[in-house]
Amino acid sequence: MASLDGAPDPGVAQAWETEILRRLDQVDGGTAKLIDREELRRRMRTRMAGV
């Protein structure tokens, strides 16, 4: 399995950091559409079922 891992892409960590900060800004600014735990579970079950 170790042979499947390539060299880490240095841009990936920065891209994730940028995305996380963008999403936090949306939550803090009240522009994010939040869902409750039950809705998350429903969506995940649907995805896992392939529907």
Q: What is the pLDDT of residues 2-20, one digit of tens each?
A: 667 778 788 998 999 999 9
- Maximum distance among all alpha carbons in the chain? 44
Here the tokens at position 19 are 């995305």
Q: How far apart are CA 17 and CA 32, in angstroms?
A: 18
pLDDT attached to residue 26: 97
Instruction: Give me the mean pLDDT over the 13-33 stretch.
Output: 96
Domain range list for the chain: 11-49
Q: pTM value?
A: 0.61
Question: Is 90 exceeded by the pLDDT of residue 50?
Answer: no
Cα–Cα distance, 51 to 48 (Å, whole number): 8
- What's the confidence (pLDDT) of residue 42? 96
Is there a contact between 27 and 34 (Cβ–Cβ < 8 Å)? yes
| C-alpha span between 39 and 31 (Å, rounded) | 19
